[in-house]
Amino acid sequence: MGETFDPLNLVLLAVAVIIFWRLKGVLGRRTGHERKPFDPFSSRETTESAADANAAGNVVTLPGRDQNTEVGNNEDVDRPPVWEGVAESGTPLAKALEKIVSMDRDFSPQRFLEGAKMAYDMIVTAFANGDRKALKTLLGSDVFEGFDRAITEREARGDVIESTLVGIDKATMIEATMKAKSASVTVKFISQIISATKDKEGRVIDGDPKKVREVTDIWTFMRDLTSRDPNWKLIATEAAN
């Protein structure tokens, strides 16, 4: 009560308030550089992940169409076939991949397979969790409608899926086609999954929460190569077992 009032304290308080409001204005403003939703098929996403890893001291080598070509060098003499390691020479798959690359020079079959494996993980997890928002970015309209209907029916019954993707043993490109401006690529996945469906009382009605099961899926992805959107959509699914 007997303390002497110090005018300097009032000045410092005013300066602090001004700094706070300026920081609030800057931090709350959208700059246009906000991170977009993750796209597993985007070469830019893969490159940014590699750059982050390199900055942290972890060197990551990414498969890509232009790894063997210097910037500004348009010669294809030393460049291996685009289908190398994915298809055999002269096969329909190899020829289709060449057509896709002729339309989209950034397409890499090897990098596509890496993206497809990430998409597989994301889709399986999102379906188990009933995450429609995540599914919509990765599925074609027909497939999304089927997934959405299955999720709705599951929710109505009160069932819950507990699913864990242990790992993908193999992802093999088995077919590719070009129709007009659209490309489609079919991939065979062999994965290890733990999955069980429980009813609203928590009783297991399908699957086994303690058993690892081998699952074989054949999924087809499609993209309009003239679109600015690099994302491939899952347009067809088939369980091979």
User: Does the structure show a pLDDT above 70 at 25?
Assistant: no
pTM of the model: 0.70
Structure confidence by residue, pLDDT tens digits, 69-109: 333 444 455 778 999 999 999 999 999 999 999 999 999 99
CB-side exposure of 3: number of CA atoms within 13 Å? 5
| Token couple for 218 | 């054949």
Structure confidence by residue, pLDDT tens digits, 118-172: 999 999 999 999 999 999 999 999 999 999 999 999 999 999 999 999 999 999 9
Residue with tokens 């890496």: 114
Residue 90 maps to a domain: yes
Bigger pLDDT: 174 vs 59? 174
CATH assignment at residue 152: 3.10.450.240
pLDDT at 240: 76
Residue 133 maps to a domain: yes
Residue 234 maps to a domain: yes
Residue 26 maps to a domain: no
User: Does the structure show a pLDDT above 50 at 56?
Assistant: no
Distance of CA 36 to the CA centre of its chain: 12
Residue 188 maps to a domain: yes
| Token couple for 173 | 């490109």
Q: In the structure, what pLDDT confidence band is assigned to residue 195 with cuts at 50, 70 and 90?
A: very high
| Domain residue limits at 189 | 43-69+77-239
Query: How does the average pLDDT of the chain come out, rounded?
Result: 79
- Report the C-alpha gap between 21 and 42 in whole angstroms: 38
Residue 114 maps to a domain: yes
Q: 75 by DSSP, 3-state: which?
A: coil
User: Does the structure show a pLDDT above 80 at 4?
Assistant: no
Lowest mean pLDDT of 20-24, 176-180, 201-205, name the range: 20-24
pLDDT at 229: 86
**165 near 208, Cβ under 8 Å?**
no
Residue 215 maps to a domain: yes
Q: What is the sign, positive or negative, of the torsion defined by CA atoms of 136, 140, 141, 146?
A: negative
**124 near 165, Cβ under 8 Å?**
yes
Segment 40-50 mean pLDDT: 53
Q: What does DSSP say about strands 233-239 and 213-224: parallel, antiparallel, or unpaired? A: antiparallel
Number of domains observed in the structure of the chain: 1
Residue 17 maps to a domain: no
- Report the C-alpha gap between 111 and 148 in whole angstroms: 29
